[in-house]
Each structure stands twice: as structure tokens, then as C-alpha cells.
Amino acid sequence: MVRLADLPEYEREHLLAKNLPPLGPLPWHTTTKALSAMRFALITTAGLHFRGEPTFNFADPTFRPIAIDRNADELIMSHSSANFDRSGFSEDVNLVFPIDRFQELVADNTIGSLAEFHYSFMGAGLMPEVYARSAAQVAGLLKQDLVDAVFLTPV
Amino acid sequence: MCALSYYLEAAGILTTGISLVRENAESMQPPRSLWVPFALGRPLGKPNDTAFQHRVIDAALSLLAAPAGPVLEDFAEEAPSTPVEDAPACPVSFANPNSNAETWTARLNAEHIQLQPWYELGKRRRKGRSLVGASSSTLTEIMNRLGGLLDRDTLPTDDLKGFKLAIEDAKTFYLEALTAQPGDYSAQKIEQILWQQTQLGAGLKRFYDRFSAIPKLAIMARLIASRQAIGGATGDEIEIKSLPSKED
């Protein structure tokens, strides 16, 4: 469990060091679309990519696109941190990148559709503002793909 | 993740998602965030539990209906877990004659050979899925490389990224071999076996110590072993300082 009170002091101190102030005025976007009409993309900071694609560096604000028509079971991970469990992701890609769950939500009309491309970052070793440029690039790509909303997963 | 939420929402895209450390989300205030009481590395809670994963996703999607933000809500359920005593037993005994070999290269290669069939079994159980392959090397090449470095008592200072990818492939190979049988595993127990019982764990601990002793490379040590593997020295935490070593 990631309840700080349950963790050893060294772990608690490390995680609390990541408590940073907001990056600026708090953004809040709204839409009149119903959930069942929204187009979603998944974004993870787990450092995922397909085997043979460029791996992430130790501290790396770049991102990797994940095409919807690729087999997500073939995703691997090159996250630099040694401080999280990887055995669960070995068992099930959806634990980190819930693409099958979102396909099911499309099938039962809970959400409208899924983007053609989803995206993976590697969240480690950098201050948040370093991601501004690549986030802007992804925002542009998402808009080209007519994405309304993003579901984000850390690791 | 909070930073991406901030920038995407500011660009006009609705965002919602998972937070694994509530205090971080409280501080950075992403627009919509569902805190979940799950282990790091498991944002959806439990592998292969479709119903549970859907409940987590539904809770995060419900935040999109909030009239104003930022919104930080807590997911009410713990991840389903199996008591450690009910988890499948480790299929491998590491107390084998090859562990008495004189060189790290021989010991690591012997361990690799011992684990290979279990890795293949695990891969078959996962329908061909494996995370091994971030590096461009085979496991044999990786074991020879790690063993050679350890036998020469040197560090791979000319290729730290390649070294990191190689050790992650090796650790992943071991974790996937140790979980060859079907069942719900304790991630902590598997990590304990890796660090406390295997030659790979002992070798990585040696690399950790060597990197830690060089100030400009000390950060590399932290990329080899988890804080829990190194920092915890009591109770159920992993105490890799107590690992037996052929050279001690």
C-alpha cells in the first residue's frame, strides 16, 4: 500500500520530496459531451514501448506513441526507477496500461471511442516543468486525433 | 503524471487519472485525480482482475462529472490480495552445487541455466508475454557480461545505460521464472527471493556497493536496487547486506 504512514522512513522521505507546488494557475476544462460520446486516449508514465523501439534514458522527457492496432501484450518497459513492482505488469499489461478495459468500455457504450494513438512517458528524475514541451506536442497530436479526454496512469 | 495533467488540461483536453501517492497529488493539484491504496507499479490494483480494474477506472471517469476542481478523491477498496502463505511456492531451489563455482561468471551462468526452463514455462503461461528484451543482448550475453565485470571487480563506466538495461532484463528474467506457476504471487516475496537467495541478487548488491562508493556515480547505485532492498534492514524488509557471498 502506498500510504505514507505504512512505509519505512527512508521511503516516506523520498516520496514526500516529490511534493511540489502547482505549476501555475490551476487549469479546468469542461465539455458538454456525455461520457458515452467522448473519445479517450491513455497516457502512462511507466516508460512503456515496443521491443526494439528506443529505450528511455535515465531522465528523459520524451514520449513514445502506442498505436491502437499494435498488440499491447508486446509492450515492454525501460523505466529507470528500481523502486516499484514490475511483476504485476509482467502478468497483465492492463495493470499499467488498461487498453483492454477501455476497449470494453467502448464496446458497451460507456465511452464513445478510443484514439488511434496513445502515449507513454517515463516519469523519473526530472522536475515537472521539463515535460512542458513534450506535453504540448502530445496535446497537439491528441487534438489531431479529436481526443476529448485522457486517462493517466503513473507507475 | 501531475505535470502532464496540468499541461494537457491547460491545452483544452480533459484529464483524469490515478494517483499512487496522495500527498503528491494534494501538493501539485492535478485537475482530477483518484488516489488508490495500491503498491507502486500497480495503478489498477491487481493483474488479471477485470472487474476490479473496471471499478478503479469507473471511479476515475466519474471525476469528469465534477462541476469544479481540482478534484482528489480516494478509491475505497484495497487491492485484492492473497496471503503470502497461500501464494505459489518458489519452484526453484538455489542451494545447488553450481553455486560453489569459483567465479561469478560460472555461478551466474549456472543460475541462468537452472532458471531457463522455468522462464519458458512462465512465458507459456502468460501466452508468450515477457518483458525481457529492453536491452539488445541475450541472457547468456548479459550473464557473461555481469559475471566478467564482477570477476574483474570493475564497473561499466563506459556504458551505464546499457548496463542498466542489461540488469533490468536479468531481473525481469528471474522474476518471470520465479512466477512460472499460476497463482497470485506476493511481489515482496518474489523480490526477497531475488535479493536474498540468488547469485544475481548478490552480484547486484556488489555493484550497488561499488557504485555507492564513488560519489559521482552514487546515483547509479539507486538505479540498481530499490530503496526497500537496500534501506530496509528489519522485519520483512529485504536485507541484502546479509547476503552470502563467495568472496566474503
pLDDT for residue B170: 98
Query: Which residue among B3, B47, B130 sits closest to A95, beta carbon to beta carbon?
Result: B47
Query: Which residue among B57, B190, B231 sits closest to A10, beta carbon to beta carbon?
Result: B231
CB contact under 8 A, A82 and B5: no
Stretch among A1-10, B70-79, B86-95, B234-243 having the lowest mean pLDDT: B234-243
User: How far B116 CA sits from the closest chain A CA (Å)?
Assistant: 17
**pLDDT tens digits for B30-59?**
999 999 999 999 999 999 999 999 999 999
ipTM of predicted complex:
0.93
- B118 phi-psi bin (left φ>0, alpha ψ -120 to 50, beta other): alpha
Name every chain A residue with its beta carbon within 8 A of the beta carbon of B226: 82-84
Percent pLDDT > 70 in chain B is 89
Percent pLDDT > 90 in chain A is 78
Percent pLDDT > 90 in chain B is 73
CA atoms of A73 and A96, how far apart (whole Å): 12
Residue type, B111: E
Query: Which residue among B19, B185, B223 sits closest to A58, beta carbon to beta carbon?
Result: B223
pLDDT for residue B100: 72
In a domain, A4, yes or no: no
* All residues at 6 or more sequence positions from A48 whose CB lies less than 8 Å from its CB, including other chains: A64, A66, A75, A76, A77, A96, A97, A120
Task: For residue A7, give the C-alpha cell.
Answer: 512505509
pLDDT for residue B105: 97
CB contact under 8 A, B2 and A88: no
pLDDT for residue B93: 76
pLDDT for residue A20: 84
pLDDT for residue A10: 67
Name every chain B residue with its beta carbon within 8 A of the beta carbon of A57: 161
The most confident of B143-152, B213-222, B234-243, by mean pLDDT: B143-152
Averaged pLDDT, B197-223: 94
3-state secondary structure (DSSP) of residue A153: strand
In a domain, A59, yes or no: yes
In a domain, A11, yes or no: no
Q: Is the pLDDT of residue B133 over 90?
A: yes
Averaged pLDDT, B142-163: 97
In a domain, A20, yes or no: no
**pLDDT tens digits for B180-193?**
988 888 888 888 89
Name every chain B residue with its beta carbon within 8 A of the beta carbon of A19: 23-24, 26-28
Range of the domain at A102: 35-153
In a domain, A135, yes or no: yes
pLDDT for residue B101: 86
CB contact under 8 A, B13 and A142: yes
In a domain, A41, yes or no: yes
Averaged pLDDT, B65-82: 93
Is A6 within 8 Å of chain B by CB? no
Total domains, chain A: 1
Name every chain B residue with its beta carbon within 8 A of the beta carbon of A1: 37-39, 78
- Assign B209 a pLDDT band (cuts: 50, 70, 90): very high
The most confident of A20-24, B138-142, B235-239, by mean pLDDT: B138-142
CA pseudo-torsion sign B41, A92, B37, B54: positive
H-helix or E-strand containing B207? helix B199-212
More confident residue, B4 or B192: B4
CA atoms of A120 and B39, how far apart (whole Å): 20
Query: Which residue among A2, A94, A149 sits closest to B21, beta carbon to beta carbon?
Result: A2
More confident residue, B5 or B245: B5
In a domain, A23, yes or no: no
CB contact under 8 A, B47 and A1: no
In a domain, A134, yes or no: yes
